[in-house]
A and B are shown apart, each in its own frame.
Chain A
Amino acid sequence: MAKYFAKRVGMMILSMLAICLITFSLMHAVPGGPFTSDRKVAEEVEAALNEKYGLDKPLPVQFLSYMKGLLHGDFGPSYKYTGKTVNEFIENGFPVSGRLGFITIVFVLLASIPMGILAAVRNGKWQDMLIMAAATIGVTIPSFVIASILVYFFSYRLGWMPSYGLDSWKGYILPVVTLGGYSVSYLARLTRSSLLEVMGQDYIRTARAKGLSEFKIITRHALRNALLPVITVLGPTVANLLTGSFVVENIFAIPGLGKYFVNSVSQRDYTTIMGVTIFYAAFLMAMVLVVDVFYCLIDPRIQYE
């Protein structure tokens, strides 16, 4: 077990190095620089800026000095926002994205799994039809469309919820539904199909033959196996939701991390591109590892080499 983890962590570090190197090379290969602004900046000023941030040095030197800072947890100063550091963006943005994401995950789990179970148990009945119809809509309609419709009705027409920001608990409702809509639908479908498959297996028949109640059969026997595929997709889903969505953050004007991730690229804010990419990558890897651990809790048949 310990050996397995050591191996996994070693792989993560290697992948991380590769990600750093690839991101760094790619972003410097793109023309333009962080100081190309909408107004002409004098050459002297650009030179002063380049010197201030060490951009006048050769690329390998820049890379090494960046990696050195990274080892100390320093993502460097933003080139675009004077006096701000990338650490600040992450420290300010991640908690916002993360809190919204965490609420969304709770919402997703509480909504999708019961929906999937209900649809499987009432297979072919109206409940199943209704849930699957809703889930199909949720999977196929893009989140920005869902957001626009929700905002139109609940903020503009009814005035029940604010159309932007997370200033009160009400502000969370629309972003959470928008952000979680796809995952709820997808996981509900997955739970349903996987539960249906398990329900047809021999050991369930045995359980029935023992005279167990249907409720016990599902909760104690069927669900445990049926949830395995759900947990597989849960890892990336959690990472996705926690790190924020550019679209949802943009529509609801939420000061999360997603904005920096997307905008830094067009602004050529090199340190922000690097910092946020590395942060996302590390997060995603950690989540995948966590999922692997959950596997073995749920299914003792899975062994680690």
Chain B
Amino acid sequence: MKKLISLALAFVMCLGLAACGGNAAPAGNINDIAPAPTTSTPAPAASAEPAPQELTFVLSDEPDGIDPTVTNNSFAQYVLSNCFEGLVTYDSTGSIVPGSAESWDISDDGLVYTFHLREGLKWSDGTPLTANDFVYSALRVLTPATTAQYYSMLADYIQGAQAYYDGTGTAEEVGVKALDDTTLEITLIQPTSFFIDLVSMWCFDPVQKATIEANGDRWTASADTYVCNGPFKMEEIKLGEGYVLVKNENYWNADSVTLEKLTFRFILDTATALTAYEAGEVDGIRSISTADYARLKASNAGVNTIPSYGTVYYNINCSKAPYDNVLVRKALNLAIDRQAIIDNVVQLDATPAYSFLAPGYGVDGKDITDGRGTFGMSPNANVEAAQAALAEAGYPNGEGFPTLQLSYYSNDTVKKVVEAMAEMLKTNLNINVEISSNDWAVYYESVQKGDYEVAAMGWGADYLNPMSFLPLFKTGDSTNIGFYSNPAYDELVEKVMLETDPAAAAELTLQADAVASNDYACIPLYYKTNDYLMKDYVSGVYMTASSNMYFQNAVINK
């Protein structure tokens, strides 16, 4: 028996090491327009000792993976945007700039893109990176066993890609070719005006064949095998806790990188993260709870609000009566007081949305949505017009209107918004509203099946081009879960896809937008913003409207 007890005790005591997160010196951020890569560290004003160039940034969740060819998880971008560099990248103004490719040419028919890579590119392990690596990566994305979640970003546009994925075509037939070590040629199925925006996505990043062949799926599991090509490289991967990145000396532009160490720490509880920030234990945090937003903003605690290319909206099931009636959808749209939701419910610095298409994409320096109409809506509810539309649809004063089912997914903010919306619809239209919720997996499945009437949704664009929004209401598109269908809209979207002149594409985009918005295809609420906190002694960190955050120009000034 004694033996058994000691065994049990041994079991109890077999405790391993507690992993620790590095306590980097605080770093903060500035959302100003960072200049082109800073080449020198500003000298600290007073202190004789320069501040350690280390920064700790808190993320509110762990990504499901950090393989650029596999994941589409938004929490992966912090590692991917800073450890990898694709052919093109974004500068602090949000413009596409050369990345691994120094320049590129587009053939006159708009079908062939030739990328000229920089000379002497290297992987973080010091081995040379060539155009062949980009070919390998593209083929990896197009292999079903990779389970690349973004595979359609290649398959839908590149010649021979879908056939290769389906097993009916060969690798040689895929339109991604290395002409020599520094020249990469991509051939498209049809002219695609936004292809260069697509190329900025991480599914076009290069991954190293050697490490993947040696380690399989697990190449992302340890820092030693996580070979990358960006400004930073992986120093340590701590499961459930965070990542430690350090400067990558083999990066082509390593001289411009000042930051030596970048720690991403997962803190799921926003209150804990905020305490750590206010106590100076971390330099920045990614998510601010709405309850603290106003106070932090007022006290100049380092709130950065970045417009994000996305819209918060509610899907209306356009295939189901009475919601197939445009007048009913109009009534629902006009009965919502968007400003009240923004000011009193979500309490954000957001702009009311009257269309699903968010502002943020510019042509010739001018946002294409500038001067766009409001489709009869205003920041506040227009009760009379809403009631008139409902009456015209055959439900005067809401009489005879079936109980509206308003569904949402379990989330505190969404819950508050839904309750406010239900109240507005009840009061302004005199109809019954029933609210129901489910956790995301169950909810999303039923919405996809069309088993709903009005459902909370939102869209964050994957790439900075209106084309990332337009398919949402295109007939038959897998993302069209409002089941809206209008041939005029479909035709315009087809035209946008083929149009290579940005200005003409923008014009067509606005026409398409007007068609769907005048049909009230959904209930837009507000345009998304990204808010993060960064201490004021950090400069050079920037975030794009596609929510990618870049630390390569970060400097600690204290």
Give the residue of B151, B218, B219, B275 whose beta carbon is less than 8 angstroms from that of A155. Answer: B275
Q: How far is it, in angstroms, between the C-alpha of A255 and the C-alpha of B151 when the chains are bound?
A: 32
Residue contact A253 to B267, C-beta cutoff 8 Å: yes
Q: How far is it, in angstroms, between the C-alpha of A256 and the C-alpha of B439 when the chains are bound?
A: 24
Across the interface, which residues of A come within 8 angstroms of B221, CB to CB? 83-84, 88
Closest Cβ–Cβ distance, residue A237 to chain B (whole Å):
12
Q: Which residues of chain B from 186 to 222 have any CB-CB distance to chain A below 8 Å in the complex?
A: 216-221
Give the residue of B21, B23, B279 whose beta carbon is less than 8 angstroms from that of A159. Answer: B279
Q: Which residues of chain B from 110 to 169 have any CB-CB distance to chain A below 8 Å in the complex?
A: 144-145, 147-149, 151-152, 165
Residue contact B74 to A82, C-beta cutoff 8 Å: no
Residue contact B19 to A255, C-beta cutoff 8 Å: yes
Interface size class of A (residues with CB under 8 A): 35 or more
Query: Quick check: is B371 within 8 A (CB to CB) of the other chain?
Result: no
Across the interface, which residues of B come within 8 angstroms of A297, CB to CB? 1, 5
Across the interface, which residues of A come within 8 angstroms of B241, CB to CB? 165, 253, 255
Q: How far is it, in angstroms, between the C-alpha of A92 and the C-alpha of B148 when the chains are bound?
A: 27
Give the residue of B23, B445, B479 whose beta carbon is less than 8 angstroms from that of A31. Answer: B445
Q: How far is it, in angstroms, between the C-alpha of A164 and the C-alpha of B276 when the chains are bound?
A: 7
Residue contact A102 to B272, C-beta cutoff 8 Å: no
Closest Cβ–Cβ distance, residue B285 to chain A (whole Å):
11
Query: Quick check: is B324 within 8 A (CB to CB) of the other chain?
Result: no
Across the interface, which residues of B come within 8 angstroms of A89, CB to CB? 239-240
Query: Quick check: is B20 within 8 A (CB to CB) of the other chain?
Result: yes
Across the interface, which residues of A come within 8 angstroms of B16, CB to CB? 91, 94-96, 98-99
Residue contact A32 to B217, C-beta cutoff 8 Å: no
Residue contact A82 to B239, C-beta cutoff 8 Å: no
Query: Quick check: is A221 within 8 A (CB to CB) of the other chain?
Result: no
Query: Quick check: is A203 within 8 A (CB to CB) of the other chain?
Result: no
Q: How far is it, in angstroms, between the C-alpha of A30 and the C-alpha of B265 when the chains are bound?
A: 32
Which of A41-49, A134-142, A189-197, A225-233 has 4 or more CB atoms under 8 Å from chain B? Answer: A41-49
Q: Contact flags (1/0) for B435-458 with A, using CB distance below 8 Å?
A: 000011110111000000000000
Across the interface, which residues of A come within 8 angstroms of B148, CB to CB? 45
- Known contacts: A41-B72, A48-B147. The answer to whether A93 contacts B240 by CB under 8 A is yes
Across the interface, which residues of A come within 8 angstroms of B279, CB to CB? 155-156, 159, 163
Give the residue of A43, A163, A260 whose beta carbon is less than 8 angstroms from that of B240. Answer: A260
Closest Cβ–Cβ distance, residue B277 to chain A (whole Å):
9
Give the residue of B269, B278, B444, B446 whose beta carbon is less than 8 angstroms from that of A156. Answer: B278
Query: Quick check: is B73 within 8 A (CB to CB) of the other chain?
Result: yes
- Known contacts: A40-B479, A251-B272. The answer to whether A80 contacts B64 by CB under 8 A is yes
Give the residue of A40, A163, A167 whose beta carbon is less than 8 angstroms from that of B478. Answer: A40
Residue contact A266 to B281, C-beta cutoff 8 Å: no
Closest Cβ–Cβ distance, residue B228 to chain A (whole Å):
15
Residue contact A286 to B445, C-beta cutoff 8 Å: no
Query: Quick check: is B33 within 8 A (CB to CB) of the other chain?
Result: no
Residue contact B147 to A293, C-beta cutoff 8 Å: no
Across the interface, which residues of B come within 8 angstroms of A168, CB to CB? 20
Q: Which residues of chain B from 457 to 487 have any CB-CB distance to chain A below 8 Å in the complex?
A: 462, 478-479
Residue contact A156 to B275, C-beta cutoff 8 Å: yes
Across the interface, which residues of A come within 8 angstroms of B147, CB to CB? 45, 48-49, 52, 82
Across the interface, which residues of B come within 8 angstroms of A84, CB to CB? 221, 239
Q: Which residues of chain A from 240 to 267 have any CB-CB distance to chain B below 8 Å in the complex?
A: 242, 250-253, 255-256, 259-260, 266-267
Residue contact A293 to B13, C-beta cutoff 8 Å: no
Closest Cβ–Cβ distance, residue B291 to chain A (whole Å):
13
Give the residue of A48, A49, A81, A163 whose beta carbon is less than 8 angstroms from that of B272. Answer: A163
Residue contact A102 to B267, C-beta cutoff 8 Å: no
Q: How far is it, in angstroms, between the C-alpha of A38 and the C-alpha of B22 when the chains are bound?
A: 30
Residue contact B15 to A83, C-beta cutoff 8 Å: no
Q: Which residues of chain A from 83 to 139 have any CB-CB distance to chain B below 8 Å in the complex?
A: 83-84, 88-89, 91-96, 98-100, 102
Q: How far is it, in angstroms, between the C-alpha of A33 and the C-alpha of B266 when the chains are bound?
A: 25
Residue contact B269 to A250, C-beta cutoff 8 Å: yes
Closest chain B residue to A49, Cβ basis: B147
Q: How far is it, in angstroms, between the C-alpha of A64 and the C-alpha of B152 when the chains are bound?
A: 35
Q: How far is it, in angstroms, between the C-alpha of A5 and the C-alpha of B479 when the chains are bound?
A: 58
Residue contact B19 to A92, C-beta cutoff 8 Å: yes
Query: Quick check: is A39 within 8 A (CB to CB) of the other chain?
Result: yes
Query: Quick check: is B87 within 8 A (CB to CB) of the other chain?
Result: no
Across the interface, which residues of A come within 8 angstroms of B165, CB to CB? 44
Closest Cβ–Cβ distance, residue B6 to chain A (whole Å):
11
Across the interface, which residues of A come within 8 angstroms of B44, CB to CB? none
Q: Contact flags (1/0) for B229-242 with A, using CB distance below 8 Å?
A: 00000000011110
Across the interface, which residues of A come within 8 angstroms of B4, CB to CB? 5, 293
Residue contact B144 to A102, C-beta cutoff 8 Å: no
Query: Quick check: is B8 within 8 A (CB to CB) of the other chain?
Result: yes
Closest Cβ–Cβ distance, residue A278 to chain B (whole Å):
16
Residue contact A95 to B18, C-beta cutoff 8 Å: yes
Q: Which residues of chain B from 26 to 85 have any CB-CB distance to chain A below 8 Å in the complex?
A: 62, 64-65, 67, 70-74
28 contacts between A and B (CB under 8 A): A1-B1, A32-B439, A38-B440, A41-B149, A81-B64, A82-B64, A82-B67, A82-B70, A83-B219, A89-B239, A94-B16, A99-B18, A102-B13, A148-B271, A151-B272, A155-B275, A163-B279, A163-B281, A164-B281, A166-B20, A250-B268, A253-B266, A255-B19, A255-B238, A255-B266, A286-B11, A290-B5, A297-B5
Closest 4 CB pairs of A and B: A95-B16, A32-B441, A82-B65, A255-B240
